[in-house]
Amino acid sequence: MSEAVASPARIGRPAIGALGILALALGTLQSVVEPALPLLQRELGVSPAEGALVANALLVTGAVVTPVAGKLGDRYGGKRVLVLLMAVVSAGGLLASVAPNLPVLLLGQVLQGVMVGALPLSFILVRKHLSAGESQVAIGVVVALFTGGGMVGTLVAGPIAEGMSWHGMFALPTIAIIVTTLVVTRLMPHDPPVRSDTGIDWPGVVLLSGALLAFMLGLVTVTSGGLPPLVVGALAVVVVALATGWVVVERRAASPMVDLRMLAKPAMWNACVLTFVITVSSGMVILLLPQLFAVSADGYGFGADTTDIGLFLLPGAIAGAVSDSVGGVAARRFGPRAVVVVGTVATAATLLVLASLHTAAWQLVLAKVVTAFAAGVGTTALLAGAATAVETRDTGIATSLLVVTRVIGVALGAQIGGAVLAAGADPTTGRPAEAAFVTGFATAGLVAALSLLVVRVTKKGVQA
C-alpha cells in the first residue's frame, strides 16, 4: 500500500503533551507585549500610536496566515508546515529579543505572527492520528494550554523585564518554543499530504498584508502630525488601491484565502459587521487600560510597573478565557442576537462610566473584566451562529472569515486608541492628557453601542 493511502500512525500522550506545551509557550510569547507596552514605549522612545504597532504587527500576520494554514497543512503535511512555521516564529522571537529599535522589533513581531497558524495545524495533526472522540479531548487540551499561556505571559512579562530586560520577555518563551518544537518533531509521526487541485492564493495573501500594514502605518503617521496634505492623500490612495486589489483578486481566485462571496449570505454579513464593531471597541480598551495604569501616580494615573499591570490585567484575561466557552452555550440557548445585545449594553455602559470615573485601580480592573467577557461571549456566539447558519461544507470558510474580521477589528481598535492618546499628548512631556483617555473610553463605548444599531437594522431587514 502506498504512503498516500496508508493509515496514519497513532500518537500517544507524550506527543499530545508536547503539542500542548508548545501551545503554552506560544500563548506566553503572544501575550507578553500587552502589559509591557508602556515599558516598551519608554525604552524605545515612541508614542502610544507607534507602540500599538508592536502588538498589531503580530495580529496582521495572524489574520493573513490563519486562512491559509490549514490548506498548507493539507497540501504539504501538517507536521512539516508546523515545524516550518515554528522556525519562522523562533526567528521572530530571537530577533525581537535583540531588537535595538522599533523597526527591528516590528519585524520580529511580524515573523512571530505566523504562530496563529499553529492551532489549526495542531488540530489537523490530532484529527489525522486519533479517533473523533480522542481528537476532541486533545484539541481541548491544546486550546486550554494556549489560553493558559496567555495568562502566563501576562504575569511573567513584568518579572522578566525587571529581572533581566524587556528583551528577555521574548527570549525565554522563544527558547521554550525551540526546545518544544524539537520534541514535537521527534514524537509526532509524519502525516501524508492530501492532493488538491486548488492552489494557495498567494496574491491575496500579499495584498491583504500590504493593505493592513499600510493602513496602520498611515494612521500612525497621520496622527503624529506635520505631514503635508499631499502625503496624507498618497497614503490613502495606497491603502484603497491595495484593498481594492485584494477584493478583486479574492472574487476571481479559484481558491481564495477568504471567500468574499460568503458575505452575500445575510447571516454572514451581519455576523461580520457585528464582530468588527465589537472587536474595534475591544481593541481600544486593550490599548488604553495598560497606558492609564502606567501614567505617573502624581497626576491622574497609578504609576504601575509592568508586573503590576500584568496583575491588574489578569482577571480580564481569565474572563476572556471563560467567555469563549460560554459564548457557544449562550448562542444555542438565547440566540446570537440576544447575546450581542446584552454584551453591548454592558460594554457601552461600562466604558461610558469609566470615561468619567477612573480614580481607582479596581474600577479599571472591573471594566477590563466586563468588556473582555462581553466581547468574548459576543464574538464567540456570532462565530457559533454563523457556523450553523451555512452549509456544512462552508463551515471552514465562514469561520475563517469571522476569525480574520475579529483580528482586523482588534488591531484597528488598538491603533485608534493609540492615535487618540498620541493626538492628546502634551507636546513637552509626551504624556497623554487625562482628556485623551476620557475621549478614548467614551469613543470605545459609543463604538460598542453601534452594535445595537446594527442589530436593529438587520432585524428589520430580516422581517422585511
- Given this model, what pLDDT does residue 265 score? 79
Answer whether residue 197 is part of any domain: no
Q: What is the Rg, in whole angstroms, of the alpha carbon atoms belonging to the chain?
A: 22
The mean pLDDT of the chain is 86
Answer whether residue 422 is part of any domain: yes
Answer whether residue 90 is part of any domain: yes
Percent of the chain whose predicted confidence (pLDDT) is above 70: 93
Residue 127 CB neighbours (<10 A): 18
In a shared domain, residues 108 and 81: yes
464 — pLDDT class (breaks 50, 70, 90): very low
Cell 502625503 sits at which residue?
231
Answer whether residue 366 shows pLDDT above 90.
yes
Answer whether residue 433 is part of any domain: yes
Pick the range with the lowest mean pLDDT from 55-59, 103-107, 196-200, 248-252: 196-200
Give the CATH number, domain containing residue 422. Answer: 1.20.1250.20
In a shared domain, residues 404 and 450: yes
Residue 269 CA to residue 436 CA, distance in Å, equals 33
374: closest CA among 323, 316, 444, 328? 323
220, 239, 254 - which closes a domain: 254
In a shared domain, residues 93 and 19: yes
Residue 255 CA to residue 262 CA, distance in Å, equals 13
- Given this model, what pLDDT does residue 1 score? 41
* Long-range contacts, stretch 204-209, CB < 8 angstroms, 24+ apart: 204/246, 204/249, 204/250, 204/253, 204/256, 204/257, 204/258, 205/64, 205/68, 205/257, 207/242, 207/243, 207/245, 207/246, 207/249, 208/63, 208/64, 208/246, 208/257, 208/258, 209/60, 209/61, 209/64
- Given this model, what pLDDT does residue 21 score? 93
139, 160, 192 - which closes a domain: 192
192, 210, 232 - which closes a domain: 192
Answer whether residue 460 shows pLDDT above 60.
no
Reported as a single tens digit per residue, the pLDDT across 190-236 is 777 766 666 778 898 889 888 888 887 777 777 666 667 788 788 88
In a shared domain, residues 217 and 273: no
Answer whether residue 350 is part of any domain: yes
Q: How many domains does the chain have?
A: 3
In a shared domain, residues 244 and 106: no
CA 49 to chain centre: 17
Answer whether residue 449 is part of any domain: yes
CA 27 to chain centre: 11
In a shared domain, residues 166 and 41: yes
Non-local CB neighbours of 237 within 8 Å, separated by 6+ positions = none
Answer whether residue 371 is part of any domain: yes
In a shared domain, residues 214 and 175: no
Residue 36 CA to residue 333 CA, distance in Å, equals 39
In a shared domain, residues 289 and 431: yes
In a shared domain, residues 288 and 428: yes
Answer whether residue 118 is part of any domain: yes
Pick the range with the lowest mean pLDDT from 302-311, 324-333, 343-352: 324-333
121 — pLDDT class (breaks 50, 70, 90): confident
In a shared domain, residues 373 and 352: yes
Cell 480614580 sits at which residue?
359
In a shared domain, residues 153 and 168: yes
Range of the domain at 98: 1-192
In a shared domain, residues 370 and 317: yes
Cell 498620541 sits at which residue?
422
Non-local CB neighbours of 318 within 8 Å, separated by 6+ positions = 151
Residue 440 CA to residue 295 CA, distance in Å, equals 15
Answer whether residue 143 shows pLDDT above 60.
yes
